Amino acid sequence: MKRSLSVLTAMATSFLAAAVFSADGGRTAASAKAIAAEVVPLYIDLHQHPELSLHEERTAKVLADRLRGLGFAVTEKVGGTGVVGVLKNGPGPTVMLRTELDALPVEEKTGLAYASRVRTKNDEGADVPVMHACGHDVHMAVWTGTAIAMSREKAAWSGTLVLIAQPAEERAMGAKAMLADRLFERFPKPDVIVALHDTPNLPSGTLGYTPGPTLASADSVDLTIFGKGGHGAAPQTTVDPVVIAARTILALQTIVSRETNPLDPAIVTVGSIHGGSKHNIIPDEVKLQITVRSFKDDVRAHTLAAIERIAKAEAVAAGAPREPVMKIVESCPVTVNDDHFTPIVVEAIRRELGAEKVTQNPPDTASEDFSEFGRAGVPTVDVRLGAAVPAELAAAKAAGRSMPSLHSSFFRPDLDATLETGIRAEIAVLMELLKKP
């Protein structure tokens, strides 16, 4: 029976990748380039079929099937839709490599031929667009490419490789859910967990890292302020929660400016305020949504306590009929790169890419629930993968402009170079951490 041209091309690409990869232990640009070409169709498929947090059923199945085909022992539905693949290859350490599964409720405006056109219902029943606006499709494609390489070159390393695909990173729920589902008891507990995340702030072909605290803690706070509603023409008969909310918002700014050490970064941002329905109606309540960021546990605890204290005090001052209600609806601790393993990971990447392609970066006030694995007692290392077209990034900097950020409807990675570099970096790191004695 005749084979189609596409099948023959795929076989040739697969053979080339295996042959080149075997030639030097897995650290040549040629091998990563060939493997990256293999996973481009996977990337496009994932990009065109994004799924929201906690609903990543198709995405999880695609990755699980890929790992099974590579010889991994695969378990699905860990912590919801999470996937765990284990490849045991003799004595040695256990290393875990993590990717994320979920996408965002963002309408894609990149103009790419394979742009997402998916719409779905969110958990509140609203119709929303869906896009991989944070690059988790990049992470999954790189993760799969690395799995291909490690499965083909088992003679070059020894130990146990555990690959996890984590749900609900965007809602800071997935890592907790996998841990609650006994991730470290049901599967080999790793000596270290490694992850990468793309960034439009670095050119493709490069990576960045931050020693120690690298990403901030994040707490999403819902604050409901209560009043006594009535007619806007007779405010003296009411207790106006809009005014209380306005005073509260202004007072919250003093937490950072007057209560926090200037050398300990903290952020209190009120991202939304909702109250009332008409010009001449004073409502009974106003709802605020607040994000809180910091790099130290004591600063985080103080900031959250101060929000509650100030909100209650403003309510009392206004004669509100009841105390505000504060709920932390999503949270994750600061992400800390391990002191021992970070230099090992960085040096492996430097040897692979060249020292000039690896930069040390300042901490970032973005957040990641990857931090939960560190809090569970396993050393973690998170690195940043450059995803910007170098010329576009240089032009933007020269003009004083920012590139489309993560979570932007215009975010798009410099695909081929980003995939290739990510695969090279992950292979180099795993080969170093799992090297034979």
Position 436, amino acid:
K
Q: Look at residues 264, 256, 248 and name the one whose alpha carbon lies nearest to residue 326.
A: 248
Q: Are 94 and 190 in contact (CB under 8 A)?
A: yes
Please tell me the predicted confidence (pLDDT) of residue 308: 98
Yes or no: say if 182 and 84 are a contact pair by the CB < 8 Å rule.
Answer: no
For residue 307, CA distances in Å to 92, 248, 303, 318 come to 48, 9, 6, 17
**How far apart are the C-alpha atoms of 100 and 82, rounded to whole Å?**
9
User: Which domains are delineated in the chain?
Assistant: 5-215+334-433 (3.40.630.10), 217-332 (3.30.70.360)
Q: Tell me the longest C-alpha to C-alpha distance in the chain.
A: 87
Q: 3-class DSSP state for residue 171? A: coil
What is each CA distance from 212 to 13, 337, 379, 382, in whole angstroms? 40, 5, 11, 10
Bridge partner residues of 219 (DSSP): 292, 331
**Which residue in the block uniquely carries the two structure tokens 């697969």?**
14
- Position of tokens 């146990």? 160
Beta strands at 207-209 and 358-360: parallel, antiparallel or unpaired: parallel
| Residues 292, 303 contacting (CB under 8 angstroms) | yes
Predicted pLDDT at 28: 57
Pairing of strands 82-89, 73-78: antiparallel
**Cβ–Cβ < 8 Å for 171, 62:** no
Would you state the pLDDT for residue 11? 41
Would you say 194 and 77 are in contact if contact means Cβ atoms under 8 Å apart? no
Residue keyed to tokens 């103009």 = 111
Going residue by residue through the chain, which has 437 residues, state the pLDDT in tens, using 9 for 90 and above: 333 433 333 444 444 444 444 334 444 577 889 999 999 999 999 999 999 999 999 999 999 999 999 999 999 999 999 999 999 999 999 999 999 999 999 999 999 999 999 999 999 999 999 999 999 999 999 999 999 999 999 999 999 999 999 999 999 999 999 999 999 999 999 999 999 999 999 999 999 999 999 999 999 999 999 999 999 999 999 999 999 999 999 999 999 999 999 999 999 999 999 999 999 999 999 999 999 999 999 999 999 999 999 999 999 999 999 999 999 999 999 999 999 999 999 999 999 999 999 999 999 999 999 999 999 999 999 999 999 999 999 999 999 999 999 999 999 999 999 999 999 999 999 999 999 98
The b/e string for 19-51 (b: 16+ C-beta within 10 A; e otherwise) is ebbeeebbbbeebbbbbbbbbeebbbbbbbbbb
Give pTM, 2 decimals. 0.90
DSSP output for 301-360: HHHHHHHHHHHHHHHHHHT-SS--EEEEEEEE--EEE-TTHHHHHHHHHHHHH-GGGEEE
Return d(Cα 52, Cα 168) in angstroms, integer: 8
Tokens for 118?
A: 């998916």
